[in-house]
Structure 1
């Protein structure tokens, strides 16, 4: 499990740092005006951020081969702690005491889970489960498109969209875990591959819409909750993820501490400089 844990931590570092690079790229372009987003996307820090995000997803995918879902998803949520630390250095964002405590909670929680987690038991589902995940990802994509216009300008629009985005990213993690293998031509006919693609695109579009609809903190906090809790339960109930004998309470405490810390750090969902 050691290598899988290393990949999970690498995913957190890559994804957390990517957010800061993308923020740097966005700051190089004057806000507003036609094509501002496109111009930002061509700035080298933004391109570097996309590359880091891609590397982070690759590391997450590799970690899911040998590490329980609850540990991987908590590590990915812990990317916000990396974003906070890098933002403090690069973007000169001042971290409050509560945020330093949240960073410590994320790190401590991950350490507890690393100690308590057992090896995932190789439960990668069957063909029916992979097909069901694909059907679910398509259904979620269609439902989210129908839901968005109906929300209008409700007060908690950003949180609702962020939560649905999180559920979509959770599907990505579950589908990635269900992959029967990582070699061709098997990947081309594996329904889980297409579930990863559909839910990844759905989650990304929903997150952008959520961030445009209101509070970054609300959207990111809802996303973190949506992408961590249910995949963790799915892994335990359906895929046989376990803890070491007698250490289940330690794993639960570590998971809770990591997610609570990530929620406190949710304002770094866009690495915005909100120095008081």
Structure 2
């Protein structure tokens, strides 16, 4: 659980850095002719290539790398549902960091949501048993590989949706991609090169993680990041948790299944309340100003960020 919480700290900080870099790289995606329709693809590979030139994006990737190592360590000892809920708590980490370092004002509801997330994780920590002993079938391994390909298709189709629907689809797609990574880690039994490269789960992990990064980068720059982040939290927690319980044998401590279910629901619900903190703080914003509220109009896809 310590590794899972450490991963959430890394991911929460990385999201802010990557969001700033993605927004800074965004103007290049805007059509030169206002009458020209936006890019029909939800996955903007060119945006990703521009974003990685930003030091903040590279710093975010470095934190993601550290977080990924901690996530793998957690997944080798804890059920997927516990790790997924801990990763969703990265939004609480981001909210606290924004309040402390950037002067973002948190409402009473948001402070309450942070408390709720912590309470949910505490319940999960008390109720979680050891990871399941099932290794997963060959069919499940190839299902993860197929899901990783489907994530790319979702990204391509998302560009045809209206603004908020596009953000939700990109966020969900990214969440499913990271969910593929969580499950695939459990499906890899050996790190011996001959076994590793013969395992379809290895390619599912690489493809799912890469596709998720592409979709998340586009989601952070296109439309409502709050909506995209909510989709991300749902996609990377619920699906993998079900797979872990049904197909991999994840269980709780004797008689505490109800506490694990309650803790998972409470932690994810609290994270969803904090979804606006997937939004990067805009450079030049006045101290004490938070991300734009949902009532403000969204920026056009590819446009520069709107100052709160």
Counterpart in the other structure of 2:303: none
Counterpart in the other structure of 1:212: 221
Structure with the higher helix share, 1 or 2: 1
Q: TM-score, normalised by structure 2?
A: 0.78
Q: TM-score, normalised by structure 1?
A: 0.87
Counterpart in the other structure of 2:158: 148
Counterpart in the other structure of 2:135: 124
Q: Spell out the pairing of 1:42-53 with structure 2 (5 A cutoff).
A: 42-53=53-64
- TM-aligned CA distance change 1:45 to 1:170, over 3 Å: same
The one-character-per-residue Cα deviations of 1:125-170 (angstroms, maximum 9, x if unpaired) are 14443233223322x1453255234x34265221122122212221
Do the aligned partners of 2:95 and 2:277 also contact (CA within 8 Å) in 1?
yes
From 70, 86, 107, the equivalent of 1:75 is 86
Do the aligned partners of 1:83 and 1:271 also contact (CA within 8 Å) in 2?
no
Do the aligned partners of 1:71 and 1:255 also contact (CA within 8 Å) in 2?
yes
From 171, 176, 196, the equivalent of 1:162 is 171
Counterpart in the other structure of 1:179: 188
For 1:120 and 1:146, the matched residues in 2 are separated by 35
Do the aligned partners of 1:84 and 1:271 also contact (CA within 8 Å) in 2?
no
Do the aligned partners of 1:180 and 1:190 also contact (CA within 8 Å) in 2?
no
Counterpart in the other structure of 2:11: 15
Q: Which runs of 5+ in 2 are unaligned?
A: 30-45, 283-288, 291-307
For 2:57 and 2:217, the matched residues in 1 are separated by 16
Do the aligned partners of 1:14 and 1:56 also contact (CA within 8 Å) in 2?
yes
Do the aligned partners of 2:48 and 2:217 also contact (CA within 8 Å) in 1?
no
The one-character-per-residue Cα deviations of 1:87-133 (angstroms, maximum 9, x if unpaired) are 11222211111111111111111110010011113222144432332
**Coordinate RMSD, CA, aligned:** 2.6
